[in-house]
Amino acid sequence: MARSELVMVLLVVVLAAGCCTSAGAVAYLSKLPVTLDVTASPSPGQVLHAGEDVITVTWALNTTQAGKDADYKNVKVSLCYAPVSQKEREWRKTHDDLKKDKTCQFKVTQQAYPGAGKVEYRVALDIPTATYYVRAYALDASGTQVAYGQTAPTAAFNVVSITGVTTSIKVAAGVFSAFSVASLAFFFFIEKRKKNN
């Protein structure tokens, strides 16, 4: 009996410890200050091709926020779905709790916070076709977002992904389709001929 009580107490302690560690710092976008000025090279509405085009992203501390970046240890820059690309797509929706947010799924870079920075990013091949803007988060030592900045969602650009269907695949599909129809017709003709004999 004492052994089962000990096991039960240990189970409660382990569960309580797990709950406490998972309830770490939660960042909400609405509560983060906008202290970073972020720019991206594509012009509004420009079409970029995955795997080919390069985006130049720059960020710097807003001049009105001088001295407020003491806690900033890293900067994480991401591509974010513009509102037009979130419509009727729950897997891209914006959520105020950044642990649940699905807007900025594609990391451009994460690096030490130097006050200002610049990165050239070749659009990855796995980026889906959509409309995007760029957001940069300032992270503290624990990796929690403490501030951000972004290009205006109205200044969003478009990315066209690679479909994976090349001309050679289309030609092969056409040839095999024609072969299958010809084979079907040939065997149908042979069967008809056997029945008539």
Mean pLDDT by 10 residues, the chain (197 residues): 62 54 68 92 92 93 80 93 90 88 92 90 92 94 92 89 78 91 90 83
Structural domains counted in the chain: 1
C-alpha distance from residue 27 to each of 35, 44, 143, 146, 193 (Å): 15, 29, 11, 7, 76
Instruction: Report the candidate in 68, 33, 53, 35 with the shortest Cα–Cα distance to residue 122.
Output: 53
Residue 105 domain-assigned (yes or no):
yes
Residue 23 domain-assigned (yes or no):
no
Residue 141 domain-assigned (yes or no):
yes
Residue 37 domain-assigned (yes or no):
yes
Q: Which residues form the domain of 89?
A: 29-160
pLDDT score of 38: 94
Return the ∠ at Cα 56 (arms to 159 and 93), rounded to 5°.
Answer: 45
Sheet hosting strand 36-40, strand order edge to edge:
36-40, 54-61, 116-122
Instruction: Report the candidate in 134, 116, 109, 110 with the shortest Cα–Cα distance to residue 62.
Output: 116
Which stretches of the chain are DSSP H helices? 2-22, 167-196
pLDDT score of 21: 46
pLDDT score of 160: 92
Residue 19 domain-assigned (yes or no):
no
Residue 182 domain-assigned (yes or no):
no
Give the CATH number for residue 90. Answer: 2.60.40.1930
Residue 64 domain-assigned (yes or no):
yes
For residue 168, the SS3 value is: helix
Residue linked to tokens 């091709």 = 49
Helix (H) or strand (E) holding 20: helix 2-22
Residue 122 domain-assigned (yes or no):
yes
